[in-house]
Amino acid sequence: MKTNHSINNSCTANVLLVDKDPQMAQAILRILARKAIRGIIVADHKAALESIEKNHYQMVFTSACFDTAKSIPQQLSQSAVFIKQIKARMPEAPTILIADINAGKRASRDNCVDLAVRALQAGFSDFLIKPVAAERLEDIFNAYLPNHKISTLAAGNQDMHNLYKIVGRSPKLMQTLELAQKVAPTSAPVLISGESGTGKELISYMIHNQSKRAEGPYVRVNCAALSESLLESELFGHEKGAFTGAHAQRKGRFEMAHGGTLLLDEITETPPRFQAKLLRILEQNDFERVGGSDTISVNVRIISTTNKDLAEEVAHKRFRADLYYRLSAVRIIVNPLRQRTDDLQDLIWHFVNTYSAEVSRQITQLDPSMLDIFNKYHWPGNVRQLRNVIRTSMILGNGPILSLADVSWLFDELQPLSQSADDYTVTAQDSRSNDLAGLPLVKVEERAIIETLRQTDGNQTKAAKALGISDRTLRCKIKKYRQQGVLQPV
């Protein structure tokens, strides 16, 4: 297992080459080495499929010999079967066919074109003819496996699998990772706080990966997705017949995480009675399965995440104070994306690298106006929202420049109008007033819209949904209020 914690510009990718030709293999491996991409060579289709079952590849090259004087479909049949087997396992991985044409006489251009068309119809992403120029190979890799330079503060790899990658360069992200790295070698409970989509689970996995428990299991429970009864059964397991549908004994997540780490994701969503039971287990390191009486002892490190202010939840008696102190031996805060805009470009290029093969589009530049919008936007969905914006822009846009020009609804959604709740200033009466008696309906509507924008942190999509109107209607209302001087951005 290899972990990297310094800023670097590497891009982890794996390419499989099915070819017995050592010259072709060496040519491809030389280019891959320059791009920091790992290349694996196998001799035949059987070995390739065995390797695909064990490892994840971002691209596959396979070679085949053809005689253009003979039936092309018949010669292509074996490669066509192979491409179907690959697509069944890795449907998004580009697969390139390299043809070694051995005709009794020089292959005609028409025959080569026919072979290329049939190869693409069979499912191959691209088609090459030996000997392949180095420039052509470079173009292939640039199109399907771009390696735009990004700053990676932490990354973990195991064999040929990328376990996690934390991208960025901002001082706040560096501080977060430094604290995580200090606590990682211990078994102290860790509480990771931050808004949804900031990458709390990545930090959690990094802590496990750098701990003395790294060889043990890493088990995750989404507390927000389960009811109280299901949560107990999920965490502690159950005995056969404990409840309707319990047809067999089942181990819980605590038992499964023995010797490793248990992540309690969104811990604040647990009900009070369950919190009391969880506290007892954390103090004593043992429990009974639901419907059972046998005591089961475990050695588990607990990492919890929350998108709420847990101290405030305790103050309002929505979370047990004693459990809070037990879980937060070390508290790590992951800052929202709007507070670390230094990370924006690295994250953009990271997602471009990630999705280029999926969309078959080569991005070489970022539109400056798009970057200006990104820097002014407040990103309520954080990195998760940015990832989806980049992916959508890559799918729906055209050309080598990534922009929002072809995605008008994204352009509208990301306007600076939505930077924060404080961007909405009411120049008439306070919109939050509950004294609506005697007001014209148009004023009631005006106040409802402005207050909803405040409550949704200026997110027009959420506000429109809450109000039961379309995005377009809401934009028209906002424009009208601006013209009237009722609403104006600060």
pLDDT for the residue 108: 61
- Three-state SS across 99-128? EEECCCCCCCHHHHHHHHHHHHHHCCCEEE
Q: How far apart are CA 36 and CA 14, in angstroms?
A: 10
Domain segments of the chain as ranges: 7-144, 171-333, 340-404, 421-488
Residue tagged 């000997």 (tokens): 131
Q: How far apart are CA 306 and CA 332, in angstroms?
A: 11
pLDDT for the residue 320: 93
Among residues of the chain, what percentage have pLDDT more than 90?
Answer: 40
Domains 7-144 and 171-333 share a fold: yes
Q: How far apart are CA 258 and CA 38, in angstroms?
A: 34
pLDDT for the residue 418: 40
pLDDT for the residue 107: 54
Count of residues in the chain? 490
pLDDT for the residue 162: 72
Is the domain defined by 171-333 classed in CATH 3.40.50.300? yes
pLDDT digits (tens, 9 = 90+) for 326-372: 999 999 999 999 999 999 999 999 999 989 888 888 899 999 999 99
CATH architecture for the domain at 421-488: Orthogonal Bundle (1.10)
Q: How far apart are CA 319 and CA 365, in angstroms?
A: 48
Q: How far apart are CA 12 and CA 289, in angstroms?
A: 42
* Residue numbers of the chain with a pLDDT score lower than 50: 1-11, 104-105, 417-434, 490
Q: How far apart are CA 239 and CA 5, in angstroms?
A: 44
Six-digit token string for 258: 């023995």
Six-digit token string for 319: 């979370």
pLDDT digits (tens, 9 = 90+) for 393-450: 999 998 899 998 888 888 878 876 444 444 444 444 444 444 556 666 777 778 888 8
Topology at the third CATH level for domain 340-404: Helicase, Ruva Protein; domain 3 (1.10.8)
Topology at the third CATH level for domain 7-144: Rossmann fold (3.40.50)
Q: Is the pTM of this model over 0.85?
A: no
- Three-state SS across the chain? CEEECCCCCCCCCEEEEECCCHHHHHHHHHHHHHCCCEEEEECCHHHHHHHHHHCCCCEEEEEEEECCCCCHHHHHHHHHHHHHHHHHHCCCCCEEEEEEECCCCCCCHHHHHHHHHHHHHHCCCEEEECCCCHHHHHHHHHHHCCCCCCCEEEEEEECCEEEEEEECCCHHHHHHHHHHHHHCCCCCCEEEECCCCCCHHHHHHHHHHCCCCCCCCEEEEEHHHCCHHHHHHHHHCECCCCCCCCCCCECCHHHHCCCCEEEEECHHHCCHHHHHHHHHHHHHCEEECECCCCEEECCCEEEEEECCCHHHHHHCCCCCHHHHHHHCCEEEECCCHHHCHHHHHHHHHHHHHHHHHHHCCCCCEECHHHHHHHHHCCCCCHHHHHHHHHHHHHHHCCCCEECCCCCHHHHHHCCHHHCCHHHCEECCCCCCCCCCCCCCHHHHHHHHHHHHHHHCCCCHHHHHHHHCCCHHHHHHHHHHHHHHCCEECC
Q: How far apart are CA 356 and CA 391, in angstroms?
A: 9
pLDDT for the residue 424: 47
Q: How far apart are CA 430 and CA 452, in angstroms?
A: 13
